[in-house]
Structure 1
Amino acid sequence: MVPHVPTVVIIGRPNVGKSTLFNRLVGKRLALVDDTPGVTRDRREGDATLFDLKFRIVDTAGLEEEAPDSLSGRMRQQTEAALIDADVALMVIDARAGLTPQDRHFARWLRAQDMEVVLLANKAEGKAGDSGLFESFELGLGDPVPISAEHGEGLADLYDALRPLLDPLMPPEEEIGDETEEERDARLAAEPLKLAIVGRPNAGKSTLINTLLNEDRLVTGPEAGITRDSIAIDWEWQGRRVRLIDTAGLRRRAKVVEKLEKLSAADTKHAVDFAEVVVLLLDAKLGLEAQDLRIADMVLQEGRALIVALNKWDAAEDQSRLFQGVRKALDEGLAQIKGVPLLAVSGLTGKGLDLMIKAAFEAREGWSRRVGTSALNRWFEGAIERNPPPAPGGKRIKLRYITQANTRPPAFVIFGNRVDELPESYRRYLVNSLREEVGFDGVMIRLNLRARKNPFD
């Protein structure tokens, strides 16, 4: 089981600086920040550090009074759900703007919850925030802590307010001594599978994750593009740890015109960088389009393991023909890799989701696999014997031996003479043979050629 660490949730009305504070505490720009109110729509979680305090921090959508079935209403429900699992709430107000009726309304609501609360008066740098700071005493949430999330001011005061609340909840620290190679491999295998879900807008990514978690964890709806930034969620599947990453939909570059959507697209690509396995989710009602192949190519160029899933399978027509058509298009469109896993799933009904997660763990194993030097060179000698390298200009290219330089993704180096003249077609032959015979189906392989130095030069 994952050890419990204290959870702190940031709440407040829109545009008071919640995501800026979140980024400050996690030490990275994980949450999108913009002047547009309501940028954050889902809960976003991260590992926070404040001096010697370590805790889980949750950024939430701005609290607004709207009908439950509206987008704003669904966002508010996500914020309320975040409080259920939290140990402490940080109520953030804008000291420069002063108190608003929304601040007062939600302070009353928060006082009725069984929850430890710390009141933060953000944007309190300089004298412009003095009036709002003094007004905030009337909220009845204790003494406000003046901070500037943007400039990092007031963090020591925030630490003093949080420490007595979090100290009793801290898990004991474990000492890790010297590890053997076997122990290290076992520990790495037990680490969470970092699984990102990507695809075009409205492919059903958030609905699929909600079904996996068996809760309405992410805001969903018929509106395309509800998810704007990447949301990481820790989860367990059959006793194995998974970190699920939901991402914003990726459209063709020509259609990405708004500043906020450009930030979302960059954030999705950033999420792929941190993933181990990426599921490219397709809308089965639309099939495979050129933008899907561009996304798949981007994932592979980043060196991540790739799975393609046809979502909304329950609503697809002529399923057998559709599946075979997508399979053929993938094989033709992704010439650099063969055998990418293709699955039929339904994020709405849950069909095929267990198989998808199982395939993701298997993909990570292949992506992390290291081949012994002797087995590798047995394959290498056989491959060259079956199909010797060409002899451009009548001069033979000599390939001497191969070694695996890295994993995740698998990378190999071939040493020989005149390797700069080896045709690209022969390089592809070696990669395809290695994939088929050594067992790297569906895994991107990087192959480098290196000439041996002449000791007489």
Structure 2
Amino acid sequence: MLPRIAVMGRPNVGKSTLFNRLAGRRIAIVDNTPGVTRDRKETVARIAGRDVLLVDTAGLEEAPPDTIPGRMRSSSEAALRTADLILFVVDVRAGLTPADRAFAQWLRRQGKPVLLLANKAEGRMGAANSLEAYELGLGAPLPVSGEHGDGFGELHDEIRAALPPEPPEEEEETDDPNRPLRLAIVGRPNAGKSTLLNALLGEERMITGPEPGLTRDSVAVQWMDETGKPVRLVDTAGLRRRARITEALEQMSTAATIAALKECEVAVLVVDAVQGMDEQDLRIARLAEREGRAIVVAFNKWDAVEDRNAARRKVEDVLTASLAQLRGILVVPLSAATGRGVDKLMPTVREAYETWNRRIPTGALNRWFENALSRHAPPLVEGKRLKLRYATMPKARPPTIAIFGTRAEMMPEDYRRYLVNSFREAFDMPGVPIRINLRGTENPYADSDD
């Protein structure tokens, strides 16, 4: 029996948009009018490598049982009783409402696993505003955007961790004492992605040629690397600038590529070494960083580069200047066509994965934190110095630090960057996204005359 995931929340918080995004296709009607969804919709979806039954529910409303909203709520409650996991959705733009608080309190009493999704959290301010949802008592809110797809890589990881274990027969079918590393090969058209996949597999698995756009869909291959460990390798269609994507088929190819990027754990960004790294390569890297994926740059067609020292310096300068949030990103020069350097790619991918998956013990983390504060004191904000008290690491994949303190949520962006870079250097975490979540605490003496 497939695990059941129910999407719940008050009307018009974006449940159906999230449902469609997770399902990978438009199933539920989406409109700004509250209450469009009145009946439960169910579909089988593939999330984080598992088949699940995804359930879209009507908006939760307080209403008499004999009214339409009351019957809609009864339908949603029935969905909850059979669910293995609840995705409780709130609207970051609207802020928390009394209905959100009431239904969160009700959900806490049901004894079901709940993931709290702070929807419509596009951009940095959206992620910061999502922290308000901590007060619902349902754990750390996960900032996502059902409309734009932001945060769905991390959402897939959280769903996988929250679902009940797979039955033994499914584990035997996957032949998986070690779960496969999910690896996506991404990049611009004609950068050599399919040629690289063929070189890794040692066979002509993908059609290749000089014409851009030969690969039109994401193609997954199960593979054992040279260490004997399983890898789920996905070749993707080339990503062009949005303004150049006009045909419906290319739009679908682009959507499949972005979906593969959200599903993977490590993204190999294939860059044409002859042309160098351009703005579209950087956009793809930033998309992977926003989704919290580990990234390795494969500098392909290295055999055709005349001045290799200059080419290496140039790509390092571009990465330093334009991808500061991924400082130390690992670069592998190679030639997929001749096979030279390809043997160095998977060890580098494994290295990036181990870094991305690493947890730091709380003691070591707080020793670093105290040292970082002593070297560079927290800044003044509105005339008062931030009082940062301690740090924890609630999760890896990517490494995530929660910092607690008085008015911590007011931390300026430059000090946040200082802490990220200090953490990266102290624990040797080059090239992986690092998240910092800020948790302010109330000062009971803030209004005192003393």
The reply to whether TM is greater than 0.5 is yes
The correspondence for 2:225, drawn from 233, 237, 247, is: 237
1:309 Cα deviation (Å)?
1.2
Q: How many pairs are equivalent?
A: 286
1:319 paired with 2:305, answer: no
Q: Is the 8 A contact 2:184 2:235 kept in 1?
A: yes
CA distance in 1, matches of 2:181, 2:171: 24
Report what 2:158 is aligned to.
none
- Structure 1's consecutive aligned runs of 4 or more residues displaced over 3 angstroms after TM superposition are 27-30, 46-49, 172-176, 453-457
1:394 Cα deviation (Å)?
3.7
1:427 Cα deviation (Å)?
0.8
* C-alpha distance after superposition, 1:207-263 (max 9, x if no partner): 111111111111111211010110110111121111111000000111111111011
1:339 paired with 2:328, answer: yes
Matched residue SS, 1:207: helix
The correspondence for 1:396, drawn from 382, 385, 389, is: 385
Amino acid at match of 2:343: D
Q: Is the 8 A contact 2:334 2:340 kept in 1?
A: yes
1:196 paired with 2:180, answer: no
Q: Is the 8 A contact 2:406 2:443 kept in 1?
A: no
Report what 1:219 is aligned to.
207
Matched residue SS, 1:215: coil
1:434 paired with 2:417, answer: no
What's the % identity of the aligned pairs? 52
CA distance in 1, matches of 2:171, 2:390: 42
Report what 1:84 is aligned to.
none
Q: CA 1:323 to 1:426, structure 2 compared with 1: closer, same or farther past 3 Å?
A: same
If you compute each CA radius of gyration, which structure gives the higher value, 1 or 2? 1
Q: CA 1:450 to 1:48, structure 2 compared with 1: closer, same or farther past 3 Å?
A: closer
1:392 Cα deviation (Å)?
3.2
Report what 1:446 is aligned to.
435
Q: CA 1:456 to 1:352, structure 2 compared with 1: closer, same or farther past 3 Å?
A: same
**Gaps (5+ residues) in structure 1?**
1-26, 31-45, 50-171, 177-186
1:292 Cα deviation (Å)?
0.6
Matched residue SS, 1:425: helix
CA distance in 1, matches of 2:328, 2:319: 9
1:296 paired with 2:292, answer: no
CA distance in 2, matches of 1:200, 1:216: 21
TM-score (norm 2): 0.60
Q: CA 1:188 to 1:368, structure 2 compared with 1: closer, same or farther past 3 Å?
A: farther
Report what 1:94 is aligned to.
none
Name the Cα RMSD after superposition. Answer: 2.7
TM-score (norm 1): 0.59
1:349 paired with 2:338, answer: yes
1:454 Cα deviation (Å)?
4.4
Report what 2:269 is aligned to.
280
Amino acid at match of 1:219: I
1:421 Cα deviation (Å)?
3.0
CA distance in 2, matches of 1:349, 1:173: 41
Q: CA 1:390 to 1:47, structure 2 compared with 1: closer, same or farther past 3 Å?
A: closer
1:373 paired with 2:362, answer: yes
Q: CA 1:449 to 1:216, structure 2 compared with 1: closer, same or farther past 3 Å?
A: same
CA distance in 2, matches of 1:235, 1:28: 26
1:354 Cα deviation (Å)?
1.8
Q: CA 1:426 to 1:211, structure 2 compared with 1: closer, same or farther past 3 Å?
A: same
* C-alpha distance after superposition, 1:366-417 (max 9, x if no partner): 1111110000000000000111112234422100000012111111110001
